[in-house]
Structure 1
């Protein structure tokens, strides 16, 4: 009998044994095991906004756009069916959309279209972090996608706690950067989600954003801004992105069409307009350097995905903020329903007795509930089995530990009625778990 090869886990990359990489897999498996449970776990968009026939209309709009540009039938076939430019084929449309929606004026050549924002994170971290001494500062709690990407690349991360009003406090950024430098390493960049962050739901006050950029500049930090949720404020008034405020070209901007269009396209982008100076005096854009890395990973981003999203942009006159008005209203109503139901099921006296509290995000998909027990995977599974409701443990979002008694609630994939039922079930579980 021929012996088969067994690979010891200890001989594979150390990240594969890191519990961080198991967090999302475990959550997906639990969801599959309890398909009838109401789930506050996924941060995916509401499927009621998607219609299969729209894909054809978007693609037709992009094909018409190519014809208007004078492309021949042969050139159209090449654009859609062949390997394309590594930086992408719809950068001009994305740049127009950024100008319309965010007041962010980026030259198309400073963009790289990526396979979701996750690829953008990997490319940016790989390009910026050149030695083992380079360190990424991350707002804590932090999206596991970026800490996971850093783990895959052997990039060290140092958490910067969120300030009392949301987002990393500028003084804490200074202190963290100086501590890293004192330890003989280089603080290279700060990763931050300024608006309705995953997982905490918090946002940076508008007046604090310039202060954060100043603090980063003083410490020689680039800022990696991730903005998946910025359109989905509960109230009126748009918030400027850090990139729109950037006057030093210190912000690298990660964008995604997963929430504003649909995640199945797997389309994101990076705005990387920083100049790169070569030893021979040549200058390029950081976007060009990221494209070199991309050419050795995914080669290029699927042209069909770009064409469908490009057509969607064209059909909405490159104004996605207006196109997302119904989604914005839906998520705002759902978040209001969650906060209202928490208030109803946990009146003040009971909150005080149990030690239960929650934040009140100004928008986005997420809120955080503080509970009087360890909110880990075992507790989540018990809640699903005995009470028919799922949520997300917060501990994996804390790079240096913490969050053991906190859980994340996502409202994006549910209806208001489901939220009401789910909070009632969750309240029963909290009381039972509290003993």
Structure 2
């Protein structure tokens, strides 16, 4: 039998040779000087050889221990070589899971998958919630064993300050877990019950001012806001009633004279949208050329912002500084138009819905109703901009009368 002294004394030859130990174990010496442990055996009458590691990394004692394990498999009718392949696949799968199976890794893959059908603003919101609230708390968690009690902690913390955002975060976690199940990273039978995690609360509506006095105060406050880029973007939200994220990311190549052509990927419903720009909005865009020189984005980012254009949070922050927290949100300009223009200017509801690019209700209507009310919307939005200016200076408001069909 071999000893450590004999093993150290082995010298390479011109060809490979082996020195036996016992029970099929041998040391193989190669011309390069490397020495490998080999186990020669027969399984179902067929000769085979299993590598047991390289000496001296695998010592004589360790080699004999591995030999004992391999012979134990043979005694139980298992081919050691076949078992090694199974073990290697299991180890590879485990390593792959460790690489892909954390909440952070699965969340990134889920966002990439979902983004193919998302508007840019939807993707931005998901990434914001994940990066700000969920990844710091759950990023290193194994998605295969993530429990409801783990997810509940960041959700409850978020619900204290932003309950609506907490509901959205819960939705994201559910989507990420279902994606992990489809990808084989989590047992399909292992659900994540989050329906009762958050306390009940009144959803309410997005804050929006809707009386003439309130609207007048809002527009006056915006007009007096010192940051020119933010002021122009907020007024553009007011004049067009488009989603704040879309306004903040407005590009110069989307402006076609007195129209703003918003591409489908930017819109929530993924349909391209044409917005008629009133004179006041066109004047704002002309002012912005002094800041961007007609480059890519209309509204440049503020200092310390990492986005290539003005961040929509800058608009929210400005409204809070003006004292409108809880009274009017950036998204509230849409509700303001829908309510005030209908009540005070008599703009038809379907014209307003077309301006807001709301989805058609009902499958038949979505399939066959292609009306966009282009002419009516152009007149309505100019009247709306004039109304806002007249409120600010105390002028007279003339309601719009829709043309009879």
> Normalising TM by the smaller chain, what interval?
under 0.3
| More RCO (CA 8 Å, sep 6+) | 1
Mark the structure with the bigger radius of gyration. 2
- Give the TM-score normalised by structure 2: 0.22
User: Which has the larger share of strand?
Assistant: 1
User: Which has the larger share of helix?
Assistant: 2
